[in-house]
Amino acid sequence: MTVKSSTDYKDAPTELANPFRVDDEVTIGDAPCALVIFGASGDLTQRKLIPAVFALRQGGYVDSHNPLIGFARSSRSDEQFRAEMSEALKKFSRMRSATVEEFTAFTNDLYYQVGDYSDPETFVTLGKRLEELAEKHGTHGNCLFYLATPPSSFGMILKNLKVSGLVDESNGAFRRVVVEKPIGTDRDSARKLNLQIHDSFSEKQVFRIDHYLGKETVQNILAFRFGNGIFEPLWNRRYIDHVQITVAETIGVGSRAGYFDTAGIARDMLQSHILQLMTLIAMEPPIAIRGESIRDEKVKVLRAIKPFTRMEAIRNVVRGQYQPGVVDGADSLGYLEEEDVPTKSQTETFVALKLEIDNWRWSGVPFYIRTGKRLAKRVSQVNIVYRRPPLAFFEEFGCDAPEQNVLGIRIQPEEGISMSFVSKRPGPSFHIDPVRMDFKYSSAFAKQTPEAYERLILDAMLGEASLFAREDEVDLSWKLIDPIIESWSGANAAPLYHYQAGNWGPEESSALLERSSREWLRL
């Protein structure tokens, strides 16, 4: 396979690696490149990135043609870095059963570069190191830079990559950058950050990562929708009554209070993970299952969402903050009692809202979304709720009206798909009961489900951008979220409701559905 760069979204799409390929289509040598991780001493690198690259190595997707350089301020040698990452693999890798020889072969291809992100000379040194590794490992000069740092460091890193010539692709080698979220804190800051990015990299070189889109069930949404003839014809306003999306966590803010209190759940989850998920549920069939075609359709969904005025945001959005309660049988602190949270914080830990997509497929079909911390259950699920049958002729048998059919797509904790329908109860009398069919990845496939970062890192190496956010996606999502956040401040601000830890959020969130005689489904 020849690795090709993705194109700028304003141009015609080029042929890219198929993101829904089978395993045999991607083999060792498809994506020779060096991976440079800025922020190599951080938690993300040890818990997620290094284990992901090791899993790719064990799966035969990368090899010694893919050396890795960790870049951070703290001083350590190559050997010390290798030892630290070896310990991280023993703790966090899903490949902990690998042999000592396999661990050693992988860590021998790890290197370390100490330096300050603001020091141009350090990047010159990095460039020389990359030239050495190109010769030693056969990377052909290809390089993938991963910004696993706080956003405050992005600007310095991007600038010095450009100044040192490390973004130049004139020699035929690719240079790409992976940018972790958050991409800004509002539309203006996101635009400023994207300007910084584009001062060094073109859009086709940029991969804005959202690990949520790397989950198997999220990827399977397109295969499920467009690969099964019995579902896509029913995926529209004629048959669907409404859609529910729930992303619930039982944990609180933990050690992230410093970040979370300035962000809130709307910025942390709604603007990124959930809107990305919703676009995959609502998008039109793309002309091809590859990068720009998929992202074009996702953008069309975001453009079709009815924007919120301030009054509409107050009416159709509920925000909440958890108070002391019981979660999983254990006493839980309230948000204001968490360490490093200001005592008078108004930051939301829960948000529920009603969205409408103003296009031919979804006109009149509400999308109800909720997400929060310290809720009753850890679960991420999309429920497609179908319209009721037009005739209630079961009443003559004394039966209640049949329950609505629900197609459930569960993303976590146990990935799978379920379908509810009604069936006659066995026996001489006529009674109907709801029943459910379940498909679970864990039981249907013997192969272990890969971690999200594995797929995303490999795709970035291959230049496949389907599962990464494009600049206009980020801009449109902030355009939608900004009015909601603005409605929570100033005169006549929307109220902040409270809920006990361990339940499903403020009671007011149920009113969003009750106005139209609907209710949140039990998960």
Name the nearest CA neighbour of 284 among 328, 225, 366, 203. 225
Contact assessment for residue 40 and residue 112, using Cβ atoms and an 8 Å cutoff: yes
Count of H-run helices and E-run strands, the chain: 16, 17
d(CA 338, CA 165): 45
d(CA 136, CA 77): 19
Give me the DSSP letters along 257-298.
HHHHHHHHHIIIIIIIIIHHHHHHHHPPPPSSSSHHHHHHHH
Contact assessment for residue 410 and residue 419, using Cβ atoms and an 8 Å cutoff: no
The single-letter DSSP state of residue 214 is G
Longest dimension (CA), the chain: 85
Which residues, 6 or more positions from 153, have their beta carbon under 8 angstroms from its beta carbon? 38, 39, 117, 147
Cα 54-56-60 angle, rounded to 5 deg? 115
3-state secondary structure of 299: helix
d(CA 188, CA 201): 20
Contact assessment for residue 163 and residue 123, using Cβ atoms and an 8 Å cutoff: yes
Identified catalytic residue from 65, 211, 242, 273: 273
Contact assessment for residue 311 and residue 300, using Cβ atoms and an 8 Å cutoff: no
Name the nearest CA neighbour of 243 among 281, 296, 197. 281
Which conformational region is residue 405 in: left (phi greater than 0), alpha (psi within -120 to 50 degrees), or beta?
A: beta
What residues does 416 pair with on adjacent strands?
A: 410, 440
**Residue 507: alpha-carbon gap to chain centroid:** 28
d(CA 416, CA 430): 32
**Residue 467: alpha-carbon gap to chain centroid:** 9
Which residues, 6 or more positions from 182, have their beta carbon under 8 angstroms from its beta carbon? 151, 263, 267, 268, 272
Helix (H) or strand (E) holding 350: strand 350-356
What is the token pair recorded at 136? 């030693």
Contact assessment for residue 471 and residue 187, using Cβ atoms and an 8 Å cutoff: no
Active site residue 140: no
Distances 117 to 80, 350, 486 between C-alpha atoms, Å: 21, 36, 34
Distances 482 to 453, 478, 479 between C-alpha atoms, Å: 29, 6, 6
3-state secondary structure of 408: strand
Q: Which residue matches tokens 């460091």?
A: 153
Where in the sequence numbering do the catalytic residues fall? 273
